[in-house]
């Protein structure tokens, strides 16, 4: 009887020992999941302060948070980017409302406005405005808009600039055809105002402050007669709209985070980021007027419709595009939902 009990005890101990040794063996673990490759996006930029939210999103890691790897492509102007968007050489561009953009959409190009990147805010300083030769203003000649006729004015007639000019002088019975329109780049505009080769020009920061430093004076502000006009917008091309709308949504989340930080004002960190990406001096950046940008990315579409009516009347555009052809709200709707949280 004793031998039987002992045998059972020994067997029990051996079983416990085997289980213990098994527990001490290698533990099976799940192989780590591979980190997904980031989505690569090519985004057009210009050396303007309104691109600050892009630079903030890059420097603060907001694009990286969204799984994006963004390459900034520097170009000379918005119109240059349209062909690149259509070809797929660019994914995202931005700028003023361009006749060339509207005509491209009318011909079937899948390009949509998707967010605000700066509007004419009547409650803020002048980011973009009409400046004039000091002598013309001080003499009182420009107090009557009819005296603008025959003057040398720098703006592009077939553009948002032309729309702003025509809206300015229409009550005086004038149009862009009544002046000597000169299409000059921003640096040349400020120099020509200073040396008397130019009478009036539409100028935006940073050239606005520079023109004033050279003696030009602010004459008429578009924010006073076209308040809330969407001066700059973001638009997506077919590589986003047709092939990867998810990337467009992620970009918008990062962009609006950048806008939120930008809207905090002239902090040392934001000035540092702008200076790094624009080569502007920090002290100059502090002195410039900063473009107001809608924190939710919304756009006053009615003003774009009115711009189209002007373009049709000038013969620049055959027919107005519908809101659905112009605008895709899904990206700001998604981004605002994400940023507002549950």
Q: If you write DSSP's letter for every residue of 200-260 in order, what string do you get?
A: EEEEETTHHHHHHHTT-EEEE-HHHHSTT-B--EEEE-HHHHTT-HHHHHHHHHHHHHHHH
According to the model, what pLDDT value does residue 186 have?
Answer: 87
Question: Where are the domain boundaries for CATH 3.40.190.10 in the chain?
Answer: 39-119+229-340, 128-225
| Tokens 């553009």 found at | 159
Whole-angstrom Cα distance, residue 321 to residue 305? Answer: 8
Percentage of the chain lying above the pLDDT 70 cut:
89
Q: pLDDT, tens digit, for every residue of 208-225? A: 999 999 999 999 999 999
Token pair in block for residue 180:
């000597």
Residue 14 in this model has a pLDDT that exceeds 90: no
Cα separation of the two ends of the chain: 71
Q: Kindly state the DSSP code that residue 292 receives in the 8-state scheme.
A: B
Q: pLDDT, tens digit, for every residue of 174-198? A: 999 999 999 998 889 988 998 989 9
Q: Mean pLDDT check: name the lowest of 26-35, 74-83, 236-245, 284-293.
A: 26-35
Pick the CATH number of 128-225 from 3.40.190.10, 3.40.80.10, 3.60.20.10, 3.10.20.520: 3.40.190.10
Whole-angstrom Cα distance, residue 128 to residue 207? Answer: 9
Stretch 307-314: mean pLDDT: 96
According to the model, what pLDDT value does residue 35 have?
Answer: 55
According to the model, what pLDDT value does residue 15 have?
Answer: 41
Residue 11's SS3 state is: helix
Stretch 221-244: mean pLDDT: 96
According to the model, what pLDDT value does residue 250 have?
Answer: 98
Q: Is the peptide bond before 206 cis (omega within 30 degrees of 0)?
A: yes
Whole-angstrom Cα distance, residue 98 to residue 94? Answer: 10
- Would you say the pTM of this structure is higher than 0.75? yes
CATH topology for 39-119+229-340 is D-Maltodextrin-Binding Protein; domain 2 (3.40.190)
Residue 317 in this model has a pLDDT that exceeds 90: yes
Average pLDDT of the chain to the nearest whole number:
89
73, containing H or E segment = strand 68-74
| Residue 32: partners with Cβ closer than 8 Å, 6 or more residues away | none
According to the model, what pLDDT value does residue 16 have?
Answer: 41
| Residue 167: partners with Cβ closer than 8 Å, 6 or more residues away | 222, 225, 226, 310
Q: pLDDT, tens digit, for every residue of 267-281? A: 999 999 999 999 899
Q: In 293-321, which positions are buried (b, 16+ CB within 10 angstroms) versus exposed (e)?
A: bbebbebbeebbebbbeebeebebbeebb
| Residue 265: partners with Cβ closer than 8 Å, 6 or more residues away | 290
Selection from 87, 55, 59, 41 nearest residue 247 by Cα: 41
Whole-angstrom Cα distance, residue 96 to residue 120? Answer: 12
């Amino acid at each position: 009887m004793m031998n039987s009990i002992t045998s059972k005890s020994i067997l029990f101990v051996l079983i416990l020992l085997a289980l213990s040794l098994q527990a001490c063996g290698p533990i099976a673990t799940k192989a780590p999941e591979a980190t997904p490759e980031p989505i690569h996006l090519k985004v057009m930029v210009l050396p303007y302060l309104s691109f600050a939210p892009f630079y903030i999103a890059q420097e603060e890691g907001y694009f990286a948070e969204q799984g994006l790897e963004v390459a900034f492509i520097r170009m000379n102007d918005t119109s240059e980017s349209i062909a690149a968007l259509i070809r797929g050489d660019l994914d995202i561009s931005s700028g003023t409302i361009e006749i060339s953009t509207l005509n491209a959409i009318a011909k079937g190009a899948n390009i949509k406005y998707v967010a605000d990147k700066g509007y004419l805010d009547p409650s803020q300083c002048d980011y973009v405005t009409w400046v004039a030769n000091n002598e013309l203003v001080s003499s009182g000649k420009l107090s009557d808009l009819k005296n603008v006729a025959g003057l040398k004015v720098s703006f592009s007639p077939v553009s948002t600039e032309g729309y702003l000019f025509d809206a300015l002088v229409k009550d005086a019975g004038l149009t862009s055809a009544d002046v000597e329109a000169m299409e000059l780049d921003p640096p040349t505009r400020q120099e020509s105002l200073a040396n008397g080769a130019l009478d009036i020009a539409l100028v935006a920061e940073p050239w606005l402050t520079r023109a004033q430093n050279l003696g030009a004076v602010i004459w008429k502000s578009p924010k006073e007669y076209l308040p809330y006009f969407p001066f700059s917008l973001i638009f997506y091309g077919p590589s986003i709209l047709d092939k990867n709308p998810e990337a467009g949504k992620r970009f918008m989340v990062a962009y609006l985070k950048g806008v939120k930080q930008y809207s905090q004002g002239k902090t040392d960190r934001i000035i540092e980021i702008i200076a790094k990406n624009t080569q502007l001096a920090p002290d100059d950046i502090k002195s410039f007027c900063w473009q107001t940008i809608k924190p939710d990315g919304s756009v006053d579409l009615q003003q774009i419709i009115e711009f189209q009516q002007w373009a049709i009347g000038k013969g620049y555009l055959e027919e107005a595009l519908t809101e659905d052809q112009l605008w895709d709200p899904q990206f700001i709707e998604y981004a605002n939902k994400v940023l507002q949280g549950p």
